[in-house]
Amino acid sequence: MELVEALRASQDEVLHEASEALTRSHLKHYELSGPEGSSRRLRDLYDLVLDCLAGRTLAPMTEYAQAVARERFSAGFDIAEVQTAFNVLEEAIWKVVVPTLPAADLAEATGLIGTVLGCGKDALARTWVSEATSRHVPSLDLSALFQGTSS
């Protein structure tokens, strides 16, 4: 079975597993958006992964991750929250892919999936840092470390 076909056939299982893992993570903003909002976000990301794999392209993932980084940064999300969403989806995909695909196809499948999601996580992190450094963010204000101690 081809990778994209296997993932399409296992979509419900993957998304259920990822949603459960995201819930167990107790991420503030994902809990505030509720299970429906979190499930929708995971489904959107999963659909994008499938599209990128089917089209052998990374551009849509890069654009999506950059937009998500800007949106979530502005909404006050911590980068760890958004990275966790990518990670739980990837873990859920592995739980399906490894037992489903023939062993001979696993090297290519892991490379493809890792590349698509890794590209997304990289674009997310780079955009997040760009947003953070272009604004005053108290958690990044290190000036107090260089002022010395008070006597």
pLDDT winner (highest mean) among 5-19, 35-49, 68-82, 90-104? 5-19
- CATH placement of domain 3-130: 1.10.490.10
Q: How is residue 55 written in tokens?
A: 């089209």
Q: How is residue 66 written in tokens?
A: 């950059």
User: Phi, psi at residue 147, to the nearest 5°?
Assistant: -95, -5
> To the nearest whole percent, how much of the chain has pLDDT over 90?
54
Ranges 28-32, 47-51, 56-60: which has the least confidence: 28-32
Q: How far apart are CA 62 and CA 68, in angstroms?
A: 10
> To the nearest whole percent, how much of the chain has pLDDT over 70?
81
What single-letter DSSP state applies at residue 101? S
Segment 98-149, tens digit of pLDDT: 888 888 888 999 999 999 999 999 999 999 999 988 875 555 555 656 666 5
Report H helices in the chain: 3-9, 11-24, 28-55, 59-74, 79-100, 103-133
